Structure 1
């Protein structure tokens, strides 16, 4: 038992179903086509596309393609030149996408859609004043909007310790455009057993980001181009086996989104949880370990230029290691025209059968070759070996 792995995670379902097995951060970074003249303060074309790293749309010169597509109302980042002449199929207004596909003059298509539901826009660069070439750039649009779901709840969720209930499982849930960590709780019995008749999912808070008295940085965290990192790690109270998980929340420290896990003492023999007050709980905050532990080095897991997570025919496997992080990014230009935010969020239940108290929780990344993958929670079961 001491050698057995106590980490539990969910495999891919037989079929990925939106809002059933996975959900998405939407329109955090999205491919966007704009002419450099509309990115320039003086309506010039004297620069090149890569010179526009962090800017906004300034105008709409001569009512060209810019007047035929929705404007990027946020910041524009990381522009690049693709081709002088492009054919662009715009998406329906009800879609999270801007474009179904983009095709260059050589016939190469960016995005997998074969048919266009509307007329294709022919987007051609042009010359101005003989010596200026006004090129169209492919950029990334960071636009907070009613269809950009980029929010994570910072509120703590706690099991009913007064009723001797502890956390037995977790899952991610998106409610009102905000991602929450939802816990399953059950009554703790003597010798680490759980009363299965008491198992229940604790409802997440029902609020919207624009409600009165709801504050960014207190109630929720909003991602952006600059702030889109999530820690991939696990936390466990290694030095004292009498502590088990009774609460969890998302927490942000120095622009890293991670987990803050709360632990309570218990008596293994009689099954009683000690300490009904929240201040009696101990916690481990992985995000703050970057600050207080000089030896804690984080490594970025790069997921650039990948395809839609649901397009893969292979099952995902855990790829992340502890002390890593990743940035939410856009899908690759060639695979998906950069239209989708990856990774997706796995919203399946992560529980054990039979249910057991938990010694820890974590977040990891799973994927298959070429896929944008999923961020998902994992649970670490209580260690019974010391009591056998």
Structure 2
């Protein structure tokens, strides 16, 4: 699109807004910065050749100044050097050669070495650059290349946060690198032709036109090739899990002290202290006392093991007499329960302090030991979710670029990374150990604490209960032209769900707009299909995880399997790994998803959805 036509269209938008249209002018179209740079250089190229043909005064100085500016543009991200898996070797070598060579030429220009510039223009190295452009062009328009790149992005082969990226992002970054490298090489060759054209205009003007047509054809072919693949490429960014993944305790948080396996004698489970009922009759009860020689009266130092300071649910009879092996782990009551009938619940290993407890006959009734689920809320119970907003500083043009889950002060909360948005979807770099590009991670303000006298249940935080212990798996996508500037947990129809804040922005300048009209979005159709955890084991993951992205699904926090864990653990876990793309970029969405394997409790983890650049390419 010509500048003249673009200016007319912008004028139309201004007139429309004056006549009652929107008071904020949206960009008429979005494009990648590299595409803009290519179009701008083509215009500069025509202007310079016109000056050469007209023998304009100070033409050499004009050529020098334009190329000094444009070869210094910091477009190249070097993503292929840093993080490419299986990229075509010819393409990789060609990109490296072009960028090394063009950097050398820029240094010559910067030092104002006109003699060196003329010697370079007359050397065989110009031919080497045109050959490299042709090789890169052939390699980069291959549909197999883009399909292979897409497949590489789909598989997390290493367990490092620096490998996080979506299929969509990998394709966009390689596209930008290829186009940037070819543009830099093209500018150096055109620079050489222009310098030589000062003495032989016709010859080098023709060579310039031929190269121009070649690069134009390459650009069209490259865009066609990538568009065939990118339309099907996922924009989701997940934490990576390698094939031999073993979930580490430092990578997750747990719900504790909530719905845990518990053993006591039925005589303690009713006000009358009788044994005339069965264990199954006690669907909802509590401990009403502690009869002699029952599990609650066992000589165990940790009294939490044999006391339930809450409700006992869903009791059942498993066996009469049993050996109780107390756990040495704070959040567990038992290592195992071994019944006289041979059934053992929990760890099959040895026990340093096993204690036997037996049933007995009270008059005409047998007093059995019952296995129940203890639902208590005390200082050992971490079952709280923060409902506070976690937002970026939109007044400072900061947006959300990453997310993770944390549990400070016993409360599960979301934490975001935020960066300053610049034009063309770029972000302002920040210094840190992480590729010199580490963000600021932010929590809700003020910091949430259960000891705060002003904190309000249902407003500041949610407490999991037996009736309300579901969490929805939604991916919230905001409209194009908006970016994510906040996240939060929210309650909706008794379920926890994720909500995101969207803010409008100007793509070309990166400026956030209509700040007061930033809106929160959630999935009102979510939570309809339960992901049922059938006899889950406490282990989060072993081996490559299965990612479950079933729309509108949810899971209930539930105790683990009786036989494998004596129902001592609540699953799923909550993954705490920080998720942010290797090359941070604006986000169009954030979600929660479930990953695990059959028979395992699995984990809940956050994911990101990067901004959609398909139409921009």
TM-score when normalising by structure 1 = 0.91
1:241 aligns with 2:475: no
Map residues 78-97 of structure 1 onto 2, 5 A cutoff. 78-92=314-328, 95-97=330-332
Using a 3 Å threshold, how does the CA distance of structure 1 residues 380 and 344 change in structure 2: closer, same or farther?
Answer: same
Q: Does 1:263 align with 2:490?
A: no
Identify the residue that residue 284 of structure 1 maps to in structure 2: 521
Give ranges in structure 2 of 5+ residues lacking alignment: 1-229, 299-304, 431-436
1:371 Cα deviation after fit? 1.1
How far does residue 204 in structure 1 lie from its aligned partner after superposition? 4.3
Residue 440 of structure 2 is aligned with which of 175, 196, 200? 200
Of residues 339, 363, 387, the one that matches 1:104 is: 339
Deviations 1:195-232 (A, max 9, x none): 22272211444332122211111111111212111001
Q: CA deviation at 1:185?
A: 0.8
Write the distance in 2 (CA, Å) between the matches of 1:320 and 1:85: 45
Asked if the contact 2:256–2:383 (Cα under 8 Å) also holds between the matched residues in 1, the reply is yes
Q: 2:490 aligns with which of 228, 251, 265?
A: 251
Does the residue aligned with 1:50 lie in a helix, a strand or coil? helix
Cα distance between partner residues in 2 of 1:263 and 1:148? 34
Corresponding residue for residue 34 of structure 1: 264
Does the 8 Å contact 1:304/1:331 carry over to 2?
no
Cα offset, 1:164, TM superposition: 0.9
**1:377 Cα deviation from its structure 2 partner:** 0.6
Q: CA deviation at 1:134?
A: 1.4
Check the 8 A contact 1:196/1:355 in 2, yes or no: no
Aligned match of 1:317: 546
Per mean C-alpha deviation after superposition, the further-off stretch among 103-112 and 52-61 is 103-112
1:339 Cα deviation from its structure 2 partner: 0.5
Residue 362 of structure 1: which of 567, 591, 594 is its match? 591
TM-score (ref. length: structure 2): 0.58
C-alpha distance in 1, partners of 2:419/2:367?
Answer: 64
Rounded to whole Å, the distance in 2 between the matches of 1:73 and 1:37 is: 17
1:378 — aligned with what? 607
| Equivalent residue, structure 1, for 2:467 | 226
Per-residue CA deviation, residues 284-332 of structure 1 (Å, 9 max, x unaligned), is 122xx14xxxxx671111114111124x532222124120111001110
User: What residue is the counterpart of 2:575 in the other structure?
Assistant: 346
Task: For residue 303 of structure 1, give the secondary structure of its aligned residue in structure 2.
Answer: coil
Q: 1:15, CA displacement in angstroms?
A: 4.5
Larger radius of gyration, structure 1 or 2? 2
Shift of 1:106: 3.4
For the residues of structure 1 that align with 2:482 and 2:348, how far apart are their CA atoms? 52
Single out whichever of 328-337 and 201-210 deviates more from structure 2. Answer: 201-210
Q: How far is the alpha carbon of 1:345 from its aligned partner? A: 0.7
1:216 aligns with 2:457: yes
User: d(CA) in 2 for partners of 1:204 and 1:21?
Assistant: 21
Aligned length in residues = 372
Of residues 26, 49, 70, the one that matches 2:306 is 70
Rounded to whole Å, the distance in 2 between the matches of 1:269 and 1:10 is: 30
After alignment, is 52-61 or 5-14 more displaced? Answer: 5-14
Does residue 307 of structure 1 match 2:537? yes
Give distance in 2, aligned partners of 1:63 and 1:208: 41
Q: Which has the bigger relative contact order, CA under 8 A and spacing at least 6?
A: 1
Residues 77-96 of structure 1: CA deviation (Å, up to 9, x unaligned): 1111111111111123x611
Equivalent-residue separation in structure 2 for 1:247 and 1:386 (angstroms): 25
Following superposition, the deviation at residue 63 of structure 1 comes to 4.8
> Structure 2 CA distance, aligned partners of 1:247 and 1:384?
21
Larger relative helix fraction: 2
Which is strand-richer, 1 or 2?
A: 1
1:320, 1:305 → 2: CA distance? 21
Q: Which residue matches 1:293?
A: none
Structure 2 CA distance, aligned partners of 1:252 and 1:384? 33
- SS across alignment from 2:332: coil
Shift in Å, 1:113: 4.9
| Cα deviations by residue, 1:323-377 (Å, 9 ceiling, x for unpaired) | 0111001110111111011111100011111111111111111002321100111
Tell me if structure 1 keeps the 8 A contact 2:319–2:340: yes
Task: State the distance in 2 between where 1:133 and 1:222 align.
Answer: 38
The root-mean-square deviation of aligned C-alpha atoms, in Å, is: 1.7
- Which secondary structure does the structure 2 equivalent of 1:162 belong to? helix
Contact 2:481 2:505 in 1 (8 A): yes
Distance 1:35 1:141 in 2: 14
Counterpart-to-counterpart distance in 2, 1:264 and 1:283: 9
Q: Which residue of structure 2 aligns with residue 163 of structure 1?
A: 396
Determine the C-alpha separation between the residues in 1 that align with 2:283 and 2:483.
47
